[in-house]
Chain A
Amino acid sequence: MFYLSRIEHTFRVPPSLLSLPIEEAVKGELERLFLDKVIANLGLCVSVYDIKSIEGGFIFPSDGAATYTVVFRLIMFRPFVGEVIAAKLKESNATGLRLSLGFFDDIYIPVHLLPNPSRFKPDPNKRDKGMWEWEYGGEPYVIDGIDEIKFQVHNVSYPPIPIEKPKEAKPFAPMVITGSINDDGLGPISWWVGAEQTDES
């Protein structure tokens, strides 16, 4: 789920930070640059883990700030395909489920990765919202968002930044996880509590 990534970056440290020790100033700038941002193919940056080296400190002509080349490590949130993660339900509509980890919301479970057979029950009070139901052994199992949902990572994609945004489009998500709950042990955790005996038979 979390990985370290070693990165080299060259950036300017504004003179307003001159009063700080160099490590602190560089760390502050790195946090400002990378924290809570997605780097394509590396994932979502959670934290600056450590700083390996700081080099340079050149002041380029007509620039009133020092430029440093820094090697550092970041903690990245980057799930691998096949990983099982516990998340909370955020949205449920006819196209599937949307789950959230609190710090990351772009997790989608499309209809074909829901357990089979699943049915969608629209909510009459709310437009295009509703609940999904899995029918197993003649009994309906509802995905109601009360307990945590375990899903398996099916795919992680980093869509390119759109040049022109169509009107009324969803906000752009730089990293999208597609998940599956169509397997034993996946889905709301309450489904599998005490399921042992029935499974064995």
Chain B
Amino acid sequence: MKSLEANAGALTNFEVLNFLRSKGAAKDSTRVLAKVAPSEYKVYDYLVQSAACKQTRENINEFLERCKKYDLAKAEVLNIINIRPSSAVEIYSIVEECEKRFGDAVEELVELVENVLPPPLIELKPEGIDEGKEETANIDGGKDEPATGEQMDGS
């Protein structure tokens, strides 16, 4: 085995989730039929309950565009998209030397995150399984394109 390029681009959680969905991963009983390995399902199960579950390509592109003025590092932007911080205190841990670089602009950034990135599902209740199924089906139908889109270059 020869590693040609260890870092050929970073992926957001959403992109990985989208990739797994395009392979046929879903949250219902058809999972035994899909060509998805058990280990991939574990990743899917983690991602589908994370902040990535309701994001769309448009959301992320818009966020990337609008956070340019804050001069964040690529890794920080990636981390913000993955975690979707909903308060200033959560940003402090993600952004290095936040106080020095931002001062009061942190609140602005939180607002931007709240406005652009959709909030994650609070909790998938056991009795709400049917609902959840419908939702994932909708998301699947919405963007079936293979996950060969843009990637963030994390190098």
Q: Does A73 contact B (CB under 8 A)?
A: yes
Query: Which residues of chain B have C-beta atoms less than 8 A from A47's C-beta?
Result: 16, 19-20, 23, 40, 43
Query: Which residues of chain B have C-beta atoms less than 8 A from A8's C-beta?
Result: 1-4
Cross-chain contact of A71 among B4, B19, B79, B148 (Cβ < 8 A): B4
Query: Which residues of chain B have C-beta atoms less than 8 A from A86's C-beta?
Result: 50, 83
Query: Which residues of chain A have C-beta atoms less than 8 A from B12's C-beta?
Result: 2
Q: Does B115 contact A (CB under 8 A)?
A: no
Query: Which chain B residues in 7-29 approach chain A with CB under 8 Å?
Result: 7-13, 15-16, 19-20, 23
Query: Which residues of chain B have C-beta atoms less than 8 A from A9's C-beta?
Result: 1-2
Contact B20 A3 (CB under 8 A): no
Residues of A in contact (CB 8 Å), total 43
- Interface stretch, picked from A14-22, A136-144, A160-168, A181-189, is A181-189
CA distance in complex: A6, B91 (Å): 32
Q: Does A63 contact B (CB under 8 A)?
A: no
CA distance in complex: A150, B86 (Å): 13
Q: Does B37 contact A (CB under 8 A)?
A: yes
Chain A residue with the shortest CB-CB distance to B40 = A47
Query: Given known contacts A75-B19, A103-B39, is B93 in contact with A184 (CB within 8 Å)?
Result: yes
CA distance in complex: A6, B45 (Å): 26
Q: Does B42 contact A (CB under 8 A)?
A: yes
Cross-chain contact of A75 among B5, B16, B89, B96 (Cβ < 8 A): B16
Query: Which residues of chain B have C-beta atoms less than 8 A from A42's C-beta?
Result: 3, 6
Q: B residues touching A (Cβ–Cβ < 8 Å)? A: 1-13, 15-16, 19-20, 23, 37, 39-40, 42-43, 45-46, 50, 75, 78-79, 82-83, 85, 87-94, 96, 147-148, 151, 154
Q: 4 more A-B contacts (CB under 8 A) besides A4-B10, A184-B92? A: A36-B37, A46-B43, A101-B46, A199-B89
- Residue contacts A-B, CB under 8 angstroms, 22 given: A2-B16, A3-B9, A3-B11, A4-B8, A5-B8, A6-B3, A6-B5, A7-B2, A8-B4, A73-B8, A75-B19, A80-B75, A84-B93, A103-B42, A150-B93, A185-B87, A185-B89, A185-B91, A185-B94, A195-B87, A195-B89, A196-B89
